[in-house]
Each structure stands twice: as structure tokens, then as C-alpha cells.
Structure 1
């Protein structure tokens, strides 16, 4: 299926009663991945924006809450007064050091205190569908499987859709179709 056909199936899918009741296969919590070729990033962003605006400006019984993972990182660093320090770190010590410092600061490897996960939990309203975007922009600081694993343990009231620039086999996430990540078994492909 080409990207236009795949994108055209998102809106009908998220309006299905079983999707909105947050039931995946076998009545498990509804976590979904919409994978796509990274060359279609801008097209996917446009469609996500269109769907979000249409749903949120209509009388549907749910809303779309989008969390751009990259923008969350920037917001948190800015709120805590670390954004300028991060720029200086990168200039003086390089990207690898800076990445490790941000991962540590945001506790991204923590199961309980992951700042990104807590940010999402605190801002997720009832009766919504969560869209997670910005995965490619947040690399190498943030790994999507890490966010999904931690979020899956805490957020089970609403469906979550991760927009992933790469391939998802149903078992493995491959970012940008080249960077293999950890196995992730809990999400379902949004569109088959």
C-alpha cells in the first residue's frame, strides 16, 4: 500500500469503537505504531495535523492530544534553565557527551521517574487519543521503545499511537529503516 492509501486509513481507524474503547487484539491495552518510510516525514506531519485539527474542532466524543517528543525535550530543558547549557555542552564537549547528559537529566533510562513519561501522563486528558510524534527529531537522545515501555506501564486509559519513521515488524523497531532498536512486542501496527 502506498503512503497516501496508508495515511487515508488513520482517521477511520481511530474512530472505530473498539479503538476508542482502548482495546487492541485480545482486549489488551491499545498501543499502536504507524510506521512509514522516513522520506514521507513531512507528508505524515501534515496528515497528523489535519486529523488533529478536524477531530478537535468537531463534536466527536474524543480529542487528539499530540506530544512531539522532541518539543517535549526542548520545553523541559528550557523550563529548567538548561537549554543554553546544553548548547554550550555540545559546543565544548560534543554531541555524545551532551546526549548522555540530557538522558541523565531527563532520567530517560528510569522506569519510575522518566521525565518525558511523567510529562505526558500529567498532560493527557480523559477521552483522548494520544499521538506521539517527533521520534526522528528526538534521536539519538530519545529511543521510542524506551518511552513506549515506560508509558505502557502507566497509561492504559486511552489509546496511544506512535508515528514512527522507519519499520515496525510487529516485533522490532528499525528507526530510519537502518538503526535497529530493541524488540518491542506490546504495540500493534495501526494500519496493516
Structure 2
């Protein structure tokens, strides 16, 4: 069995435990956990998540928010989806990105993610982190999410690296500061 599959199996066990659901052992910090994996292993992670979503024995309720699907829905809401390719071709990628950032920010994502009531066994599962880049950066979204989801754990499936201080998407991009989250497993366990 691969190291990633072992870590995913352990993840399945851990997210059901009271300590995880209650955020114990986090020194009163926000219960945000980052599960890092190599982006080349995306298919394995997606297969695992498909199994997890349909597991009738799972002792927690996954509230999945695919950030890329949320982004597309926000573009549809603004009725700009069809205009995006033409805008990029005529004005360039940088202009398009600037326009999208001005129209769609963290608050719009959070509005789409909100639900009530939050239940004790809920786990907010963030996926699509790599797909939504560069339109949304997860470190910015996590900062904005904290006041809205402080009562349930947030689990980020992250195709990259997190050393407890810096998030580095795909293990290649310029790292971004983010110190409020915790690696799901110890650093030596996150090496692929």
C-alpha cells in the first residue's frame, strides 16, 4: 500500500474521532487542518473522497465545498461565464484575473458556503484548491472563513506543502503565510 493511501485511511479514522470534531489538542486555536499531498496524486485523492462521501458507516457529516465549482457558480450568477474566454483573448490573462478578483472575493465564496445549522459532527471539507487557483487563494479564504465556521472543523485537501507557517501550492508556487492551521499529520508523515 502506498504512503498516500495509508495516510488517507488514517484520515478517514481521525475525522470521526471526538478529539478532531471538538478541536482538542489545538491550544484553543481554530480547528483548521490541512491534508497535504502531491498534486500528481490528485486522482487517488479524488477516488478516496468519492468513497468517503458515500460511506454509510462514516461517523461524521462531510459538508464539501469544491472551491472551483463555487467559483464557476459565482461566475454564472454574475452572468459572465460565457464572456470569460473572449475577455482573456482580447484583454489578456492579467486583465481578466484583475477583473475577476474585483468581482469575486472571499465574501462571495463564504456566502455560497454558508449553511445552517452547523451540527456537532459536521466537517467542512474544502476541495478544488488547485483547480480554483489563481482565482482564489486558500490562505485568504481561510482567514475570512474563521468567524463563520469557528464551531466546526475545517479540513482542506491541499495539493501542495504546508510547514505550519507557509502554504506552497503544488509544491512549486511562491509560499503564502498562513499560521492558523495545522498539518493533519506530523511533518515527517507528510513527505510523499
- Which TM-score applies when normalising by structure 2? 0.88
The aligned length equals 184
User: Structure 1 residue 154 and structure 2 residue 153: aligned?
Assistant: no
Q: 1:186 aligns with which of 175, 180, 191?
A: 180
SS at match of 1:88: helix
- 1:125 Cα deviation after fit: 4.1
User: Structure 1 residue 2 and structure 2 residue 15: aligned?
Assistant: no
The runs of at least 4 consecutive aligned structure 1 residues that moved more than 3 Å come to: 57-60, 122-125
Cα distance in 1 between the residues matched to 2:113 and 2:40? 27
Distance 1:100 1:24, change over 3 A: farther
- Residue pairs, 1:133-172, within 5 angstroms: 133-172=127-166
- Residue pairs, 1:42-191, within 5 angstroms: 42-54=43-55, 57-58=56-57, 60=59, 62-108=60-106, 114-122=107-115, 125-127=118-120, 128-191=122-185
Give a deviation string over 1:107-133, Cα, whole Å, max 9, x none: 34xxxxx21122212477434101101
Q: Runs of 5+ in structure 1 lacking a partner?
A: 109-113
SS at match of 2:155: strand
Distance 1:157 1:115, change over 3 A: same
SS at match of 1:165: strand
Instruction: Specify the alignment match of 2:190 in structure 1.
Output: none
Instruction: Specify the alignment match of 1:111 in structure 2.
Output: none
Cα distance in 2 between the residues matched to 1:95 and 1:13? 41
Give a deviation string over 1:67-113, Cα, whole Å, max 9, x none: 110110001111221111222212211222111111110134xxxxx
- Which TM-score applies when normalising by structure 1? 0.88
